[in-house]
Amino acid sequence: MVALKPGARFTSNACATEAIVVKGAGDVDLRCGGVAMSPAGGDPVDGELSPDASGGTQMGKRYVDAEDTVEILCTKPGDGSLGISDALLDLKEAKPLPASD
């Protein structure tokens, strides 16, 4: 479990993914590739990438949970998928701009 707060940075222990918390608070089981993530700058832990969580992350994209309570920005792409516990996060869709006449 890691404490989420906006601006907190995390690194994956299963791939090259790095991310920043945009929205969310409290203790959460943040994972990448099925392995718990570590705060940036901490001691890395070698983990095995789970086949169920190997969809990859894209740099500059935001990932959200189903309830839209947690939002994570990927700052370095990797092979693992971001998730909370066993639930994978979804890629956040861009909001369409209003049409101008």
Contact status, residue 64 vs residue 24, Cβ threshold 8 Å? no
Is the pLDDT score of 43 beyond 80? no
Contact status, residue 53 vs residue 83, Cβ threshold 8 Å? yes
Look at residue 2 in the predicted model and tell me its pLDDT: 86
Q: Tokens at residue 23, please?
A: 């929205």
Tens digit of each residue's pLDDT (9 = 90 or more) over 50-62 = 999 999 999 999 9
Q: Tokens at residue 67, please?
A: 């309830």
Secondary structure of residue 33 in the 3-state scheme = coil
Mean pLDDT in residue range 27-44: 90
Q: Among 71, 33, 67, 25, which Cα is nearest to 11's?
A: 33
Calpha distance 101→94 (Å, rounded):
21
- Read off the pTM: 0.89
Look at residue 44 in the predicted model and tell me its pLDDT: 72
Tens digit of each residue's pLDDT (9 = 90 or more) over 77-99 = 999 999 999 999 999 988 888 88
